[in-house]
Structure 1
Amino acid sequence: MASERCLAQGCSAPGPVPKGKIRIYSMRFCPFAQRARLVLNAKGVRYDVININLKNKPNWFLEKNPLGTVPVLENDCGQLICESPIVCEYLDELYSEKKLYPTDPFEKAQQKMLLEEFSKVVPFFYKVPTGKSKGENTAAVEQELKEKLEKLNKILVDKKTKFFGGNIVTMIDYFIWPWFERLDGYGVRQCLDGAPQLQQWMQNMLEDPIIKATMFDGKTHKAFLQSYFDGKPDYDLAL
């Protein structure tokens, strides 16, 4: 059972994952869940998607993950893995033919440290539109986000590579990308003005076939995020 439309309270639970398959519980516009879908697609894994209404979650989903967050990965043994970095690392080890994390332990540790640093940036993408929806002056928040993006820019300057992990797309690029895909939706593209290498990284990412095949356009993201910040998220937008 795959579900493009989100399942809410009262919807029947899907059956067991078919033998030899893998299932992801997701939400079409969730950047954290997008990380896992990017990795699955990059590895060429066939998978089922069950989209969840995160504002009105089915009880059976909360039994799988009491925190109620996505992504959640379920294999054909009924084993469940939650939290996007853990899900993605599990997939990288399970489908090891095309590794996305570096094999060198130090380089892998560097990517994990950068992910930890980026996790502190993520809240600022939401603070700006949230503040604007409340009629607040967001200049200070935008300036702080701009400074954080300039630090990311400096990493690319120092590395002298096309991507954060080198000259090919690796795990850290897929971890960071979803928030940059949504820049126009968040209304923070101007915060990239002092980060030319980061802008070039975005252009490089847009050439990746996995990104091309899985992304939504800026107009769609903007429409969903507007519904989200209005308190009525349209999870089934454009279906």
Structure 2
Amino acid sequence: MCVLILQISLDTMAATQKCYAKGSCAPGPVPEGHLRIYSMRFCPFAQRTRLVLQAKGINFETVNIDLKEKPEWYLEKNPQGLVPTLELPNGKVIYESPITCEYLDEVYPGKKLMSSDPFEKAQQKMLLEDFSKIVPLFYRIPGTKSKGEDISALETELKEKLSKLNKVLVNKKTKYFGGDSVSMIDYLIWPWFERVEAWQLKQYLDGTAELKNWTLRMQEDPTVKAIMFKPEDHKVFFDSFMAGKPNYDYGL
């Protein structure tokens, strides 16, 4: 038996709904002329895909998933149970954030977010691979600190990796990682920097002037501004997440 949850067809500017959890009914077919993204409001990985959907002006609806009590029907769509997942009008699904983002840029018209130059595209994918090694530190430092354990080695590692990221901008002499305008690589990196203040990691940006300037520019990007949360909202969710009781529906 499933519990019916009201699902409203959303466009790119609409607010999301409360999470679907275990025991809920699956939503109906994807509305004509739309995509559906299975997401979680505070998930940085899902935010990547929502940024690309927003930037390209794609019509979509959002179905948020309770990642602690996942609906049975969602695991049939994505056996990994992670977000984001894209569902197409024909019922086919695509998941993993970089893959969904690249698909959207290749299939949908409008501003191209990925470079058409094969070498530049490869450079950005290499940069994303390097950044993927930074992401775990954003979680490990607060988690280790909350246990009262020594975080000095983790702090040193994070500072070194952020310094290397800063050097990329210094060497490129551009405003953004992909050039002088926001591109795919910027949207793929941004979500964790939106959270540095809430996760008490902002001090690790000291000494990375170009990276700091990049964060300030990204905060003014219309796409980022359209879907970003305030630091205090991120903090409330992150605190609940760290306590083992994530409040996915905070603020709704």
Q: Distance in 1 between matches of 2:242 and 2:90?
A: 38
- Residue in structure 2 matched with residue 175 of structure 1 by the alignment: 188
1:13 lines up with 2:26 in the alignment: yes
SS at 2:18's partner residue?
strand
Cα deviation, residue 207, structure 1: 1.3
1:197 lines up with 2:210 in the alignment: yes
Runs of 5+ consecutive residues of structure 2 not aligned to the other structure: 1-6, 9-15
- Residue in structure 2 matched with residue 40 of structure 1 by the alignment: 53
- Residue in structure 2 matched with residue 66 of structure 1 by the alignment: 79
Q: Which aligned runs of 4 or more in structure 1 are off by greater than 4 angstroms? A: none
Cα deviation, residue 96, structure 1: 3.0
1:223 lines up with 2:236 in the alignment: yes
Q: Which amino acid aligns with 2:210?
A: Q
SS at 1:9's partner residue?
coil
- Residue in structure 1 matched with residue 124 of structure 2 by the alignment: 111
**Which stretch shows the higher mean deviation, 124-133 or 169-178?**
124-133
TM-score scaled by length of structure 2: 0.93
SS at 1:8's partner residue?
coil
Using the aligned pairs only, state the percent identity.
61
Q: Distance in 2 between matches of 1:230 and 1:169?
A: 35
Q: Which amino acid aligns with 1:145?
A: L
> 1:73–1:82: 8 Å Cα contact kept in structure 2?
yes
TM-score scaled by length of structure 1: 0.98
> 1:26–1:33: 8 Å Cα contact kept in structure 2?
yes
**Which stretch shows the higher mean deviation, 149-158 or 180-189?**
180-189
- Residue in structure 1 matched with residue 12 of structure 2 by the alignment: none
- Residue in structure 1 matched with residue 165 of structure 2 by the alignment: 152
SS at 1:101's partner residue?
coil
Q: Which amino acid aligns with 2:242?
A: F
> 1:27–1:70: 8 Å Cα contact kept in structure 2?
yes
1:235 lines up with 2:235 in the alignment: no
SS at 1:11's partner residue?
coil
> 1:128–1:186: 8 Å Cα contact kept in structure 2?
no
Runs of 5+ consecutive residues of structure 1 not aligned to the other structure: none
- Residue in structure 1 matched with residue 99 of structure 2 by the alignment: 86
> 2:33–2:59: 8 Å Cα contact kept in structure 1?
no
Q: Which amino acid aligns with 1:194?
A: G
Q: Which amino acid aligns with 1:6?
A: C
SS at 2:61's partner residue?
strand
